[in-house]
A and B are shown apart, each in its own frame.
Chain A
Amino acid sequence: MFQDLNQFIVSLIGKGDLSDILSVVVYSALPLVLILLYALVAILGEMKISAWLQDRLGPMRTGPYGILQPIADMLKLIQKEDTTPKLADKKLYNAAPFIVFIGSYMAFAALPFAAMYAGARINTGIFYIVAVSGVVVVGILMAGWGSNNKYALLGSMRSVAQIVSYEIPAGLAILSVVMIAGTMDLQTISHLQQGGLQNWFIFGGPKSLAGFGGGYAWILTPLMVVSFLIYIVASLAETNRVPFDIPEAESELVAGYHTEYSAMKFALFFLAEYANMFAVSAIASVLFLGGWNSPIAGFLDAPWMGAIWFIGKAFSFVLIQIWIRWTLPRLRVDQLMHICWKVMIPFGMATVLLVGTIVTFLAH
């Protein structure tokens, strides 16, 4: 992939240092292009789906059926005034959107978009993605403290408490996949799930390879479904989406930690939030649903089709998140903490031990 890109750029501007640097930059910026395009589609999806669920039409004026609405919104945001409250802590206030955006973009660096493209193939893959979300948390705290606004501070505290709490069940759910795969490298995890639906980790992982229990791996299916559900619920909480949107509960906290932000700084938060939604959906699809693999062996599985499958799977999860948002009511804080600490963590631990037991006895 990198060589192809390099050759393409060399054919355009000739070989030299410039072409090398350019191809490296383009290679590293590909996820950014994806985030921007996806955010436009997802914002339109959010507006249209909410409208349909509430028996409205949604935006209709900008372009046919309002499909240009996100672009109009973006242009509007660029022209807005960039305000900084007088009492805000300028340094923290200005740094917060960067930290949040960098944190969410860094998660994209390790995602395997296709068999031939992953921003960085690192062997700590999924563990690294779990870790960089900590950077986002620090950015949210910066925004809450720096804004010098009561809503922002409360929103950021709630958000951080919620994100860190749900990181534990998410980590335990991810662990059960790592245990079967025997690796944390996301590209290897994707390769292992080749050959159709039955090899996906939600169905117990690859059936043809030795060392995984072969065909008996089917009996892991119920445990993996539990892990999958734990991960999905935890990912909703980590992205502050309904029913876990207490940090941004608009009836009590206005807009949570980004109450004071305007113009493009607000847009950065917004983009980071949507990027996070995509990232957690993508991780769910890589870990449990085959990543860039086609569900049927040999069906539309050209190497470049992998990117389509990957983005399609991740995007359908994003649509489910939007659907949930406009369907379910919000939880209370005590309910939220109860679900995390008293339901999901014991279930997660039990799943890890049971998967461990089965894998140990299948592998030997």
Chain B
Amino acid sequence: MFDIIFYIFGAITVGGALVTAFARNIVYAAFSLLFTFFGIAGLYIMANADFLAVTQLLVYVGGILILLIFGVMLTSRIGTVDIRVGTGSRWVAGIMALGLFAILCAAFFGTAATHTEKSADGKSQVVTSWATHATRPWSGSKWNQDATTEALKPKYGAPDEVKSNEGSSGTSVEIGTLFLTDYLLPFEVISVLILVSLLGATMIARKEPTKEEEAIAESVSV
């Protein structure tokens, strides 16, 4: 059952991406990214990365996609322009894409997953396995009635039982802890990165146009 859900999300993702790549109308290409981003969020949840999934929704659907569509809209008459590229570069692009696909496949099938198992004599040993059915994140939780019932049954406890953070077994706590301990430097570098992009955005946005540019802008927007 989870396999089917996985393939549904996969189909949504790939379908949206295909429309984005092949649509003649750039507006369709932009809007179909909604389905791609949504499908990817679903796949993140399948991989037990719930915080990442919600972040995907918040940043990509709520931010990047809006920015893209605004970008399309402030381009003059883009809605009617056929934006497909000529056939000349198609072969090169195809070969590049196939090469990238091969690299991704190599990475996917070459990554070993390790987990600890108890052997027959009671010793624990590390077992290495490659991308198989058993390494899928959801293979442990079988689809059955109990799973549904369990998922639909909220915990009900007295306030004393609900300690801070109890019941939230998600990834957000771990991510926060890791940011503040092991990955402290990347965390602070991110703030510098955000600062730089903020300054950059302001610089670009408020650049006073020269006379030439104004003339071009006027001739285009009529």
| Complex A–B touching at CB under 8 A | yes
Chain B residues with CB under 8 A of A185: 167-168
Instruction: Select B31's contact among A92, A120, A208, A211, beta carbons within 8 Å.
Output: A92
B62→A20 contact, CB < 8 A: no
User: B14 near A: Cβ within 8 Å?
Assistant: no
User: B6 near A: Cβ within 8 Å?
Assistant: no
User: A44 near B: Cβ within 8 Å?
Assistant: no
Which size class do B's interface residues fall under? 35 or more
Q: What are the interface flags for A139-176 relative to B under an 8 Å C-beta threshold, 1 for contact and 0 otherwise?
A: 00110010000000100010010001001000000000
Q: Can you name the residue of chain B whose Cβ is closest to the Cβ of A115?
A: B156
Chain A residues with CB under 8 A of B145: 20
A178 to B34, CA, bound (A): 28
A91 to B164, CA, bound (A): 47
A153 to B66, CA, bound (A): 14
A112 to B172, CA, bound (A): 20
A15 to B38, CA, bound (A): 36
A124→B159 contact, CB < 8 A: no
Q: Can you name the residue of chain B whose Cβ is closest to the Cβ of A91?
A: B28
Q: What are the interface flags for A171-204 relative to B under an 8 Å C-beta threshold, 1 for contact and 0 otherwise?
A: 0000000000111110110011011000100000
A183→B54 contact, CB < 8 A: no
Q: What are the interface flags for A53-82 relative to B under an 8 Å C-beta threshold, 1 for contact and 0 otherwise?
A: 000000000000000000000000000000
A192→B162 contact, CB < 8 A: yes
User: A218 near B: Cβ within 8 Å?
Assistant: no
A183→B164 contact, CB < 8 A: yes
User: B138 near A: Cβ within 8 Å?
Assistant: no
A167 to B166, CA, bound (A): 28
A120 to B153, CA, bound (A): 9
Q: What are the interface flags for B65-106 relative to A under an 8 Å C-beta threshold, 1 for contact and 0 otherwise?
A: 110011001000001000000000000000000000000000
Instruction: Select A27's contact among B31, B152, B168, B172, beta carbons within 8 Å.
Output: B152
B159→A194 contact, CB < 8 A: yes
B157→A191 contact, CB < 8 A: yes
B34→A124 contact, CB < 8 A: no
Q: What are the interface flags for B150-183 relative to A under an 8 Å C-beta threshold, 1 for contact and 0 otherwise?
A: 0111111111101111111110100000000000
Chain B residues with CB under 8 A of A46: none
Q: Can you name the residue of chain A whose Cβ is closest to the Cβ of B64?
A: A134
Chain B residues with CB under 8 A of A27: 152
B66→A183 contact, CB < 8 A: no
Q: Chain B binding site: helix, strand, loop or mixed by DSSP? A: helix
Chain B residues with CB under 8 A of A141: 66, 69
B164→A212 contact, CB < 8 A: yes
Q: State the total of A-B contacts with C-beta under 8 angstroms.
A: 132
User: A349 near B: Cβ within 8 Å?
Assistant: no
If A123-B172, A188-B167 touch, whether A131 touches B73 (CB-CB below 8 Å) is no
Instruction: Select B172's contact among A124, A135, A188, beta carbons within 8 Å.
Output: A124
Q: Chain A's nearest CB lies how many Å from the CB of B173?
A: 8
Q: Chain A's nearest CB lies how many Å from the CB of B153?
A: 6
User: A323 near B: Cβ within 8 Å?
Assistant: no
User: B21 near A: Cβ within 8 Å?
Assistant: no
B57→A132 contact, CB < 8 A: yes
A127→B154 contact, CB < 8 A: no
User: A128 near B: Cβ within 8 Å?
Assistant: yes
If A116-B156, A137-B66, A145-B73 touch, whether A124 touches B54 (CB-CB below 8 Å) is yes
B159→A134 contact, CB < 8 A: no
User: A325 near B: Cβ within 8 Å?
Assistant: no
A128→B54 contact, CB < 8 A: yes
A184→B62 contact, CB < 8 A: no
A122→B31 contact, CB < 8 A: no
A167 to B155, CA, bound (A): 30
A206 to B159, CA, bound (A): 9
Instruction: Select A130's contact among B51, B58, B157, B169, beta carbons within 8 Å.
Output: B58
A209→B164 contact, CB < 8 A: yes
Instruction: Select B62's contact among A89, A137, A142, A145, beta carbons within 8 Å.
Output: A137
Task: Give the residues from 194 to 228 in chain A that come closer than 8 angstroms, CB to CB, to chain B.
Answer: 194-195, 199, 206, 208-209, 211-212
Task: Give the residues from 25 to 40 in chain B that come closer than 8 angstroms, CB to CB, to chain A.
Answer: 27-28, 31, 34, 38
If A138-B65, A184-B172 touch, whether A131 touches B57 (CB-CB below 8 Å) is yes
Q: Can you name the residue of chain B whose Cβ is closest to the Cβ of A160?
A: B66
Q: Chain A's nearest CB lies how many Å from the CB of B97?
A: 27
Instruction: Select A127's contact among B58, B73, B167, beta carbons within 8 Å.
Output: B58
A interface residues with partner B (beta carbon < 8 Å): 1-3, 6, 20, 24, 27, 89, 91-92, 99, 112, 115-118, 120-124, 127-128, 130-135, 137-138, 141-142, 145, 153, 157, 160, 164, 167, 181-185, 187-188, 191-192, 194-195, 199, 206, 208-209, 211-212, 303
Closest 4 CB pairs of A and B: A134-B62, A123-B170, A131-B58, A123-B168
Q: Give 22 pairs: A residue, B residue, CB < 8 Å, sorted on A.
A: A1-B152, A1-B154, A2-B152, A99-B34, A112-B154, A122-B170, A123-B167, A123-B169, A123-B170, A134-B61, A134-B66, A138-B61, A141-B66, A141-B69, A164-B66, A182-B164, A182-B165, A185-B167, A191-B157, A191-B162, A192-B162, A209-B164
B interface residues with partner A (beta carbon < 8 Å): 27-28, 31, 34, 38, 50-51, 54-55, 57-58, 61-63, 65-66, 69-70, 73, 79, 145, 148-149, 151-160, 162-170, 172
- List 4 additional A-B contacts (Cβ < 8 Å) besides A91-B28, A187-B155: A27-B152, A123-B169, A141-B69, A182-B165
